[in-house]
Chain A
Amino acid sequence: MNTSIDAILQDLYAVDAKLRGHEEQLRPLIAKLLAAKPDTKFDAYFAKALRRQLVAVAATQSQPSFFTRMQTLVDSKWAYSLGGALTALVLMVPVVYFSLQGAPSRDLASALRDVAERSVQSRGSQAFGSLASLAETTSRSQSGGGGAGSSNPVSDKVDSRMIVPPFQQPYRFVYGGEPIQLNDAQLEVFKRIKDMGDTSSVARSLFGLGGGLIDLSSFGSSSVRTVEFFQDIDEGYSFGVNFTEGTIYVNAVYERWFTDSFNCGRGDCPQPPSLSIGDMPSDSELLAIAQSFVTQHGINVSSYGQPFADQNWRIAYEANKDKEYSYVPDVVDVIYPLVINDQEVRDNSGYPYGLRVQINVRVKKVYGIWGLTTQRYESAQYAAEQDANRIVKLAEQGGLYGFWGEPAPDAREIKLGTPTRVLMQHYLYVAGTNEELYVPALVFPVLDAPTDMYVQTHVIVPLIKEVLDNYQLPIMLKEVSVTDPVALPADIRKVEAEVKQ
C-alpha cells in the first residue's frame, strides 16, 4: 500500500511541487481512496465463457503438422525450458500417483468433498476399450475366441436401431458455414468416474454399532449405495446421494408443497389455472433465484460455465399461433453448462448439458436440482475422423440422433452455421453398466430456424471414428397400402353377411 501511495505522491509532486507541503493530509486521503478500488465490472463468467470459445476456435483452426511443430520447438529459444518442464512433469507424476493411493477413513462430508474438485487422469490410448454400441459389444464378446464353434458375427448382431414410423421431414439442413479442417488424427475422450470410492466407513458412521430392532453392524463390512434425507417442513426438500452413480439430487417434498391442493380430499381439488406468458419471471429473476439457492447450499459450481435460463419451451410456445392454448410451463430450468478441459459439454441433441436448477414459476422458488455429479475423469486418446465431408453429411442429416426421415420433396431449406468444438455426452453400455463418456464433437448452430414449426436448435456430430463407424440409420417403417385389405376368414365373413342382412 505504501509503495502505491509513494508512487502517487511522487507523480503529484512532479506536477505540483507545492503539494509536498501537504503530505500529512494527502497520505491518509490517498490511502482511504486506494482502499476502494475502481470497479471495472469484470465478470468471471464472461472470462470463462470467452476462454472456452477461444480454445474451441483454436481446435478448429488450421494447425501446423507434427513435424512443423517439432521444428518450431527445436528452433525456438524455449526448447531448453520446455525440456526442463517435461522432466519435472515426469518426476512429478509418480508423486501424484502415490499420493492418490491412500484410502483414508471417510465420513459422508469428506466423501462428497473428495469428488467435488475437478481431476482428469490421463490413461493410455484407447484405454476405455471399444466405444461401439451395445449391439456390437455383445456381438464381439460372443464371437470372440475364434475356432470352428464361434458364431457368425453378422447373424449374432442384436439390432438395437431405433424404429421410426414413415415420415418425411418438412425441412432439410444445408451446411452454409466456413470450410471445416479436421487436423487431429487422435482426440481425447473423457470418462466420468462415477464410483465415489470406499463407502464402508460412511456406512459405519451412518448406522453405528448398536442393536435394537436389528443390529445392522451384524452384516459386517457394508457399503452405501444411496442415502436420502428430507426436511419435514412445508416447502421442504429431499436430497440424496447415489454413491455408485456419483450423483447428488435435490427434490421438493411434493406433499409438503402446495398443501392446499394436496390436502383437500380425494383429488377433487380445483386445478390451478394455467400460467400465462406474463407469469414467467424474467431471465435475470430466474438466474437470481437459482444462484441464491446455489450459494445458500454451498453447491460447488466451479466445474460449470455461465448459467442461463432454459428457453426451449418457448420454441413450442412461439410455434403455436393460438396463444390462448400455448403451454407455459410451471417449472423452468436454469442450466449451468458442464465444462471439461475448457470444452463445453452438450447432450446428444447438441443442447448444453450440465447442472439443472429447476424453478417453480408459481412460487418462484427452486423445486429441485439434478445433474450435480462427481467431477473426476479419466481421459484416453481415440482415432478421430478427419474427413470433413463425412461430418458435414451427417450434420445435414440432423446428426446421429436427429434423423427422423428423409426430407420431403418440397422441404424447406435451413442453413447450418460454422461449428464449434464441444464434448458430447455418450453412454456406453458395457457388462451391465452404463459408462458415461464425453467424446469430442462438432456442434452446428441452426441458423434462422422457422418459428412456425419445431426445428432442433443445434446439430451435433461426434468426431471419434469408432462412434461414427458403428452408427446406423434408424429402421424406417414402410407405408402400408390400404388398396388390398387383408381378407377376412370365412366364418367371420359369414357372420358379417348375416349382420348386414
Chain B
Amino acid sequence: MAMKEHQLQNVASAMAGDRQAFGRLYDDYVREIYDFLYFKTHHKETAQDLTSQTFMKALQHLQTYDADKSSFGTWLYRIARNTATDHYRTKRSFVDIEDAWDLKDDTDLEQDADTAVFMQKIKVHLAKLSSEQRDIVTMRVWQGKSYAEIASIVGKSEASCKMNFSRALKQLRKEMPLAVFLLLLLGRPLV
C-alpha cells in the first residue's frame, strides 16, 4: 500500500500535532476501512462503531506509528482487524470468534436484512475458512487489494498470502455452485 506524497506530508503533520492533517488522512481511508469492517460484521451500525473505534485508537496511538515498518493504511487495517476481533470476543465471551462469520448461528447477531440473505447463501462455505483466509479473500476480491498490500496487513509474506488465497478459493469452488461462487467473488448481495 504505497503512500502518496500528500499522505506522507499529512502523516508528518499529524504526528507533529496538526489535527487537520489527521482529518485529511481520515478522508483518504475512512471508506475502505468502513467497507472492510462491514464485510466482517454484515451490519451498518456495528461497522460504524468499529470504524469510530479504529480511528480513535489510531489518533491516540499516532506517535507509535512507524512509517518505516508499514504504510499508514496498512497500520489502520491492522487496528481495524484487531478492533473487530476484540468486539466479537468481548460480546460473546468466546475466544475463538473473530468476526461475524464465526458465529454458529444468527442468534442476537445484528445483521442488515438484505445482507442477511446473501450471507446465508455463502456463510456455510465461508465459515469453513479461517478468519485470516476470509480477510485475504475479502480484501482481494471485494476491495481489490494487491497481494503485497494484503501481506503487509496480515503480517505474512506475499507468497504465503497467494497460497492462502488460492487454497481458500479452491476449497470454496469445490463446495459451492458456480453462481454462488461468482457472487462471492463479486461481493454482490442476493436481493
Contact = CB atoms under 8 A, between A and B. Distances in A.
Contact of B188 (A7, A14, A33): A33
Contact of B55 (A8, A33, A50): A50
A51 B26 contact: yes
A59 B34 contact: no
B77 interface: no
Contacts of A43: 44, 48
Given A11-B169, A33-B183, A40 B34 contact: yes
Interface of B: 5, 8-9, 11-13, 15-17, 19-20, 22-23, 26-27, 30-31, 34-35, 38-39, 44, 47-48, 51-52, 55-56, 59-60, 67, 112, 114, 140-142, 144, 166, 169-170, 173, 178, 182-183, 185-189
A29 interface: yes
16 contacts: A8-B141, A11-B185, A15-B169, A38-B186, A38-B187, A38-B189, A39-B114, A39-B189, A40-B34, A40-B35, A50-B26, A51-B26, A55-B20, A64-B17, A81-B8, A342-B23
A63 interface: yes
A434 interface: no
Interface stretch (A68-76, A392-400, A447-455): A68-76
Contacts of B173: 15-16
Contacts of A76: 12, 15
Given A8-B141, A50-B48, A77-B67, 12 more contacts: A7-B144, A8-B186, A29-B182, A38-B188, A41-B44, A50-B30, A50-B55, A57-B56, A58-B59, A64-B16, A78-B8, A82-B13
List 4 A-B pairs, minimum CB-CB distance, nearest first: A58-B19, A38-B187, A63-B17, A78-B12
A61 interface: yes
Contacts of A97: none
A30 B183 CA distance: 9
A54 B20 contact: no
Interface in A1-52: 4, 7-8, 11-12, 14-16, 19, 29-30, 33-34, 36-43, 46-47, 50-51
A480 B52 CA distance: 56
Contacts of B44: 40-41, 43
B186 A30 contact: yes
A64 B12 CA distance: 13
A42 B29 CA distance: 13
Given A55-B23, A61-B59, A42 B13 contact: no
A54 B26 contact: yes
A151 B23 CA distance: 51
Nearest to A66: B17
B73 to A, nearest CB: 16
A341 B20 contact: yes
A158 interface: no
Contacts of B9: 78, 81-82, 85
Contacts of A63: 17
A342 B21 CA distance: 12
Contacts of A57: 56, 59
Contact of A47 (B31, B182, B183, B187): B31
Contacts of A50: 26, 30, 48, 51-52, 55
Nearest to B167: A15
A7 B143 CA distance: 13
A122 B147 CA distance: 45
A11 B137 CA distance: 11
B23 A40 contact: no
